[in-house]
Amino acid sequence: MQVSKLDDAARDAAMEQLPHWTYDNDASGIRRNLRFGDFAEAFGFMTRVAILAEKADHHPEWFNVYNRVEILLTTHDAGGLSQRDIDLALAIDAIAP
């Protein structure tokens, strides 16, 4: 399905729903960093996100060390931030601690 990059106004409006996320202009995506009690909690969270991502056919770029998870959402097919990233960010927020 075709997906387009959000324009600046749409991006700014969407970001108002996502106070835990910051827009990274260089990456043309949004970032959220999380910290958990230990690796098992962090990886458990990543597993839940992976299931959501696979269902949506939209996948995060992320980095994990022990109890830290750093997430970048951008849409490769659109060359930047799209509504798919906003939808996945909202779904991630709903299961984040």
Residue ranges in 76-95 that form contacts with ligand H2B under rule CB under 6 A: 76-77
Binder among 30, 32, 46, 75 for ligand H2B (CB under 6 A):
75
For residues 81 and 41, give the distance between their C-alpha atoms in angstroms, rounded to a whole number: 28
Q: Please identify, using beta-carbon distances, which residue of 48 and 59 lies nearer to ligand H2B.
A: 59
Question: Beta-strand (E) ranges in the chain?
Answer: 22-24, 29-35, 61-65, 68-73
- Examine residue 31 and tell whether it contacts ligand H2B (CB under 6 A): no
Binding segment toward ligand H2B, per CB under 6 A, in 9-17, 32-40, 74-82, 89-97: 74-82
Residues near 56 by Cβ (< 8 Å), separated by ≥ 6? 84, 87, 88, 91
Residue ranges in 42-61 that form contacts with ligand H2B under rule CB under 6 A: 57-59
